[in-house]
């Protein structure tokens, strides 16, 4: 298998390239800097021996590993995204490597006294004795989803260098802008040409997911009136107070910090305001489609109630669907989950089959005709300064990719 040293070197070469996406941009990719890693990946795929390596005008990358068997095998794909979250800085990422993790606190940044502690992040206790890659406390790491890219490239390199491992045709795809919900928007499923695929975009080792949130965004614009505060009685309308009324009227315990498992939520992730206008930006999430629709209706009903209370339109709420639960598209082809589960078991990995409390490119791709469950990439605490990834988890994910390819060829597409 690819050595630990090679995995570390490859991963660090990716995360030190700034690829944050920008939800306020209308271009694809949404930031010019995503091209830096995209072009690097194209060169690397060619260098390891992949064929049909392409990159289109929107930075979507595809490549092929041809079949090395003489019988028909379904074409499978592996997909990851190369952008990082706009929610926390990804500029000047400075990874730190901690070998043989001792199980206690890790001092990420002495000057700022930033500590990665198992007292708060209990998952750390799973990785005692392993090698951890962390941030320096100032940026995110970018394991979401550069760990996935590292694993896919490493697996392809290993299969190319070990032709005794039999496999069918494999397609790989790398996308921009997943973190802002657009990763699959311009993905050419027909060109990709796979019967099914897997996103390598999960978290802890063993995760295997074919359910995800139904998702929508909501922009709430609140209108006020500004006049001189000394003469404001009966005239000023402070939009920030009305916005506060809207916020406090939504269910207080149905927010991310109070929910888990299959529980949905309303998440206010951004707000900015002045007396005359305040804007609230929400995301709405629920695994259950009926509950999802009900959540959208709650926001619209609240908007109407407040407008009625003021006797005019003081709030406008615009809701846009983003993606849907892939479960209904995966269940008819559950063999694609079964083969991934079997691959993990053969590698002594305990499969953790659960619902994603989020979304991946796979959810949109499944509705575009490419069934696409999600497999662990190994990282934890994504989108912030406490992000880390165990190197051993990345190595295991690389092995899972190779084993799925091998099992698919072995079983000749029948399960």
DSSP string, 121-169: -GGGGGGTTS-EEE--SSS---HHHHHHHHHHHHHHHHHHH-TTS----
Backbone angles phi, psi at 237, to 5 degrees: -125, 115
From CA 138, how far away is CA 93, in angstroms rounded?
8
286: β partners:
214
Kindly list the averaged pLDDT for each block of 10 residues, start to end, along the chain of length 415. Answer: 92 98 96 98 98 98 97 96 96 97 96 96 97 98 97 98 97 96 94 98 95 94 95 94 97 96 95 97 96 98 97 97 92 96 97 86 93 97 97 98 97 60
Provide the pLDDT for residue 358: 77
Which residues, in sequence order, are CB contacts of 257 under 8 Å at separation 6+? Answer: none
Provide the pLDDT for residue 415: 52
Give catalytic residue positions.
83, 178
CATH of domain 4-212+325-410: 3.40.630.10
Q: Where are the domains of the chain?
A: 4-212+325-410, 214-323
CATH of domain 214-323: 3.30.70.360
Alpha-carbon distance values, 317 to 33, 85, 283, 298, 321 (Å) = 33, 25, 12, 11, 13
**Secondary structure (H, E, C), 266-322:** EEEEEEEECCCEEEEEEEEEECCHHHHHHHHHHHHHHHHHHHHHHCCCCEEEEEEEE
Under 8 Å between Cβ of 8 and 389: no
Provide the pLDDT for residue 322: 87
Q: Give yes or no on whether 4-212+325-410 and 214-323 have one common fold.
A: no
Q: 26: buried, middle or exposed (CB in 10 Å: 19+, 13-18, 0-12)?
A: exposed
| DSSP secondary structure letter of residue 225 | B
Provide the pLDDT for residue 53: 98
Under 8 Å between Cβ of 206 and 315: no
Length of the chain: 415
From CA 218, how far away is CA 297, in angstroms rounded?
11
């Amino acid at each position: 298998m690819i050595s630990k040293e090679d995995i570390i070197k490859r991963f660090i070469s990716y995360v030190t390239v700034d690829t944050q996406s920008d939800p306020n941009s209308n271009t694809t990719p949404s930031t010019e800097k995503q091209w830096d890693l995209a072009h690097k990946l194209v060169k690397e795929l060619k260098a390891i021996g992949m064929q049909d390596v392409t990159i289109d005008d929107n930075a979507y990358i595809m490549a092929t590993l041809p079949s090395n068997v003489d019988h028909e095998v379904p074409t499978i794909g592996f997909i990851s995204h190369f952008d990082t979250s706009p929610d926390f800085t990804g500029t000047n990422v400075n990874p730190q490597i901690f070998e043989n993790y001792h199980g206690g606190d890790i001092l990420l940044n002495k000057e700022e006294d930033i500590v990665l502690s198992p007292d708060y992040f209990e998952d750390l206790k799973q990785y005692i004795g392993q090698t951890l890659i962390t941030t320096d406390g100032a940026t995110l790491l970018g394991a979401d989803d550069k760990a996935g890219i590292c694993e896919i490239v490493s697996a392809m390199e290993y299969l190319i260098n070990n032709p005794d491992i039999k496999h069918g045709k494999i397609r790989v795809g790398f996308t921009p802008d997943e973190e802002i919900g657009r990763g699959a928007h311009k993905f050419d499923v027909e060109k990709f040409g796979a019967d099914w695929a897997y996103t390598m975009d999960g978290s802890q080792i063993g995760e295997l997911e074919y359910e995800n949130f139904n998702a929508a965004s909501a922009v709430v614009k609140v209108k006020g009136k500004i006049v001189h505060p000394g003469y404001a009685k009966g005239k000023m309308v402070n939009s920030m107070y009305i916005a506060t009324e809207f916020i406090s009227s939504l269910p207080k315990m149905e927010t991310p910090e109070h929910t888990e498992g299959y529980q949905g939520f309303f998440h206010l992730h951004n707000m900015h305001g002045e007396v005359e206008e305040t804007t609230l930006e929400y995301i709405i999430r629920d695994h259950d489609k009926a509950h999802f629709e009900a959540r959208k209706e709650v926001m619209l009903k609240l908007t109407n109630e407040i407008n009625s209370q003021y006797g005019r339109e003081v709030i406008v709420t615009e809701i846009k669907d983003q993606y849907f639960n892939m479960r209904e598209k995966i269940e008819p082809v559950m063999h694609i989950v079964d083969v991934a589960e079997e691959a993990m078991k053969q590698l002594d990995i305990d499969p953790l089959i659960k619902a994603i409390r989020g979304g991946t490119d796979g959810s949109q791709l499944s509705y575009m005709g490419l069934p696409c469950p999600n497999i662990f990439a190994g990282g934890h605490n994504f989108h912030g300064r406490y992000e880390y990834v165990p190197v051993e988890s990345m190595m295991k994910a690389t092995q899972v990719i190779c084993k799925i390819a091998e099992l698919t060829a072995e079983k000749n597409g029948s399960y």
